[in-house]
Structure 1
Amino acid sequence: MKFGTALSFVCVGISLLLVTKMRKGKIALGHIGLPILGLIIIMFLSVNTTSVIIGTNLSLTMLFEDSPISTINTISPSRPSLGALVNFTIIVIALMLMLTDFARWRKLVRGIGITVGMIGGIALAGYAFNLHFLYWDFENVSNAMALHTGILFLIAGISLILIGNDKNNPVITGSHQIKTRLISLFLTISIIPIIFLGIITYILIRDFEVIRPFGYGFAIISIIATITAGFFVYVITMQIVRPITNLRDTALAITNGNFDVKAETSTVDEIGQLSKTFNGMIDSIKMATALQLETEKLKQVDKDKEEFAAMVSHELKTPLIPISGYAELFLDGSLGNITEIQREKMQVMYENSIRLTTLIQDILDARKIELKRLNLDIQVESIKEIAKRCIDIFRPIAESKGIRLVDETQDIAIKCDPDRILQVLNNVVSNAMKFVPAQDGTISINSRNDKDEVMISIKDNGIGIPKSKQDDLFKKFYQVDKSLTRKSGGTGLGLAISRGIIEAHGGKIWVESEENQGAAVHFTIQKGNGK
């Protein structure tokens, strides 16, 4: 076996060992060693083939000869085995494919293993049946493949087949590829040419005169070695540059507003991981953009609903105003005398028109509070004045039911929208009147100074509120006792609106109650300057 062929088989064996290590997760050495070993094999094949083409013996075997180099170089070299050239070339291709992306090229690696094994097996069959052409013995074209060479190729082919067939234990390329590729790039550029030039220098030192008749041969071999090294450098460089370029192009497309692009994730190195992360970011941006569009649509829907509600409320309230107004004129006798039956019917019409007007206003207020668009006309007003107005409103109804209304407030100035605070008091007192006993009910309004705030409390001696229902008391449309509400009316919006009004003032509202022991609703309002 020639020295170059033997050393090539050593490189193949070491490469397969490194592949085995990579299958166990030890990837760094494989990324550095496989390109170098493959390059060495290709260089040996190039030197051997070129020496045949130019008719000179420049094989590395001369390093171990004792005869003068000038004598050795006059010997015409034998032609290399065609089968060996093909096998070594495709073995190097298989090693590079495993290095780049084993999962993608696994079947091709297996096919190369089959090819290598078949070429070696055919040579062995030629020896077994004494058929020269089967072991690649073609006159003036290819020397016969040695028996031991065929055996080694058969072993190498079987090894590649086993590697390509193993799905459960693939070659791990890992996340260190960029670093190791750069190391391979450096070694390819520096170490291999240095070794080659060192060999040529050694030959020249032994017999300087040999360079004269074979100068062109050395030049051609140097060019081939440079081209081979340059090819490896190009391949390794493109493996690094191409995914980065693709990632850049993807980023530019996104900058231009194209969110349908995706970065290539064919590699499994750091750039491949970055590409996957980048694609995830694109998906997140698309989701955020879609969510933003949906949010804008919902905002427009809310705006349309608000405008529709305002329009409907205006159209509903407009006819209710003259209806309630004329009914009131009939009831107070301004439009002449009416019979008792007419008065009774007119009273029903008047009360229901007022109730419908209040209901429409409550719905509008609840919607404004939900959208945080409740307008407040902040003034400094005495809580006692507001409480007096509330009691004056409910006094006729309370007296008719035998319910006592008590004003225990102090003349304390608060900073508020007086009409809205009156609305809160009305809602709470109206709610309390439904649950206090007739002829013996009491509802009181009192106030108390508390640093920079004033706490207002509305207390009653009604049936109280169970603890289990107190947390839901200020929710929209919630009613503690629906049977009582159906008898006395109500939508369940009063306390929810009251909470929205108080929170819009920067205060808080809560309830304290024991079942069958009455209830107390408290809220706080900022103290004003003045009274």
Structure 2
Amino acid sequence: MKAPKRLDERERLAVLNILEDLRDSYRMLEKAHQELKDVDRVKTDIISNVSHELRTPLTIIKTSLEIIRSEELDKEEFENILSMMEDSVTRLNDHIENLLRAVDIHRGIYKLKPEPVDLTLLVPSIVKKAEKNAAERGVKIKMSLANDLPKIRGDPAALERVFENLLGNAIKFSKEKGGLATVAARKEGSSVRISVSDNGIGIPEDKLDIVFAPLYQVDATSTRMYSGIGLGLAVSKSIVAAHGGKIWAESTVGEGTTVHFTLPVAAEGD
């Protein structure tokens, strides 16, 4: 076995930053656990999925730390380990955010803070954050935003959650190596329609209406290929509805899925 690696100052700070993010995630998880104590039905339904999905990134982080402690790594190996840890913290945070939003929505305490939102700024920022995950899966992301796209009225943080959920799904379910996820937006009357598409496995027609139900997964077996706790679409539907919009899915099995949703155009002078 190689001698344990002695981290330089930059590497030590990088690991400490990730561990600080992990501590923040743990505090969020404790909050979610307390909230779930008052929502027995939700707690019962998600316990198996949540335990698995939260355990997976924590296991990766734990294993990565053990490797850093026990082995002499070159720069490239260290950066790869660091990247895996960062990705695991991001995945953990996504699960916890959806869990917290689902609980707030279920309890009727989720509140929006609407303001004019420029989608030509918001969408590219979401896409940029998703590019690393997409590239690792061999998926390209395409944007198609109308030139005359007006501002919409919405809560930026809530809409970011919707875009992250839908684009994350599009990347996850697109074909690996040759996959394509598309985000498009255009004005339709007094609303803007946003469409997020993939070219993946598709959803059976008889499942299109229920994929937005809390905890629903097309493949809910313990051996399913795709990870997730089944809350992303349900949370997205509730957020879109709270904005006065609609959300629906169109799909062809074996060709892909498109999720559409509408948001109200911001009033003149808003």
Shorter-normalised TM range? 0.5 to 0.7
Task: Measure, in 2, the Cα distance between the counterparts of 1:405 and 1:483.
Answer: 29
- Report the secondary structure of 2:233's partner residue: helix
Q: Which residue of 2 aligns with 1:381?
A: 117
Structural mapping, 1:33-48, within 5 Å: none
Q: Report the TM-score, using the length of structure 1 for normalisation.
A: 0.36
Give yes or no for contact 1:511–1:521 (8 Å, CA) kept in 2.
Answer: yes
Q: Please say if 1:462 is aligned against 2:200.
A: yes
- Report the secondary structure of 1:434's partner residue: helix
Structural mapping, 1:283-302, within 5 Å: none
Q: Which residue of 2 aligns with 1:444?
A: 182
Match of 1:503 among 238, 241, 245: 241
Residue identity matched to 2:154: C
Structural mapping, 1:330-409, within 5 Å: 342-409=78-145
Give yes or no for contact 1:384–1:412 (8 Å, CA) kept in 2.
Answer: no
Task: Measure, in 1, the Cα distance between the counterparts of 2:191 and 2:204.
Answer: 29
Give yes or no for contact 2:36–2:103 (8 Å, CA) kept in 1.
Answer: no
Q: Please say if 1:453 is aligned against 2:191.
A: yes
Give yes or no for contact 2:244–2:263 (8 Å, CA) kept in 1.
Answer: yes
Q: Please say if 1:308 is aligned against 2:34.
A: yes
Match of 1:525 among 263, 266, 269: 263
Residue identity matched to 1:525: L
Task: Measure, in 2, the Cα distance between the counterparts of 1:453 and 1:347.
Answer: 39
Show structure 1 runs of 5+ residues with no match: 1-304, 312-323, 332-336
Q: Please say if 1:434 is aligned against 2:160.
A: no
Q: Structure 1 residue 357: deviation in Å?
A: 2.3
Q: Structure 1 residue 499: deviation in Å?
A: 0.4
Give yes or no for contact 2:32–2:99 (8 Å, CA) kept in 1.
Answer: no
- Report the secondary structure of 2:173's partner residue: coil
Bigger-Rg structure (1/2)? 1
Task: Measure, in 1, the Cα distance between the counterparts of 2:138 and 2:92.
Answer: 26
Q: More helix by proportion, 1 or 2?
A: 1
Q: Structure 1 residue 439: deviation in Å?
A: 2.3
Task: Measure, in 1, the Cα distance between the counterparts of 2:93 and 2:246.
Answer: 28
Q: More strand by proportion, 1 or 2?
A: 2
Q: Please say if 1:476 is aligned against 2:214.
A: yes
Give yes or no for contact 2:113–2:154 (8 Å, CA) kept in 1.
Answer: yes
Q: Structure 1 residue 501: deviation in Å?
A: 0.4
Query: Percent identity between the aligned chains?
Result: 31
Residue identity matched to 1:469: K
Match of 1:424 among 162, 168, 177: 162
Q: Could you tell which deviates more after superposition, 374-383 or 480-489?
A: 480-489
Task: Call closer, same or farther: CA 1:485–1:362 in 2, change over 3 Å.
Answer: farther
Task: Measure, in 1, the Cα distance between the counterparts of 2:121 and 2:106.
Answer: 29
Give yes or no for contact 1:466–1:513 (8 Å, CA) kept in 2.
Answer: yes
Match of 2:227 among 469, 489, 500: 489
Residue identity matched to 2:161: Q
- For 1:384-410, what per-residue CA distance to the aligned partner results, in whole angstroms no more than 9, with x for missing partners? 222111111111222233322111112
Q: Please say if 1:515 is aligned against 2:263.
A: no
Q: Structure 1 residue 309: deviation in Å?
A: 2.3
Q: Structure 1 residue 342: deviation in Å?
A: 4.6
Q: Please say if 1:413 is aligned against 2:151.
A: yes
Q: Structure 1 residue 437: deviation in Å?
A: 1.0
Q: How many residues align?
A: 211
Task: Measure, in 2, the Cα distance between the counterparts of 1:484 and 1:385.
Answer: 39
Residue identity matched to 2:134: A
Task: Call closer, same or farther: CA 1:341–1:440 in 2, change over 3 Å.
Answer: closer
Task: Measure, in 1, the Cα distance between the counterparts of 2:204 and 2:239.
Answer: 25
Q: Report the TM-score, using the length of structure 2 for normalisation.
A: 0.67
Give yes or no for contact 1:478–1:492 (8 Å, CA) kept in 2.
Answer: yes
Task: Call closer, same or farther: CA 1:440–1:524 in 2, change over 3 Å.
Answer: same
Give yes or no for contact 2:141–2:181 (8 Å, CA) kept in 1.
Answer: yes
- For 1:268-306, what per-residue CA distance to the aligned partner results, in whole angstroms no more than 9, with x for missing partners? xxxxxxxxxxxxxxxxxxxxxxxxxxxxxxxxxxxxx98
Task: Measure, in 1, the Cα distance between the counterparts of 2:169 and 2:222.
Answer: 11
Show structure 2 runs of 5+ residues with no match: 1-30, 38-60
Give yes or no for contact 1:466–1:514 (8 Å, CA) kept in 2.
Answer: yes
Task: Measure, in 2, the Cα distance between the counterparts of 1:351 and 1:484.
Answer: 23
Structural mapping, 1:1-20, within 5 Å: none
Task: Measure, in 1, the Cα distance between the counterparts of 2:159 and 2:192.
Answer: 13
Q: Structure 1 residue 466: deviation in Å?
A: 0.1
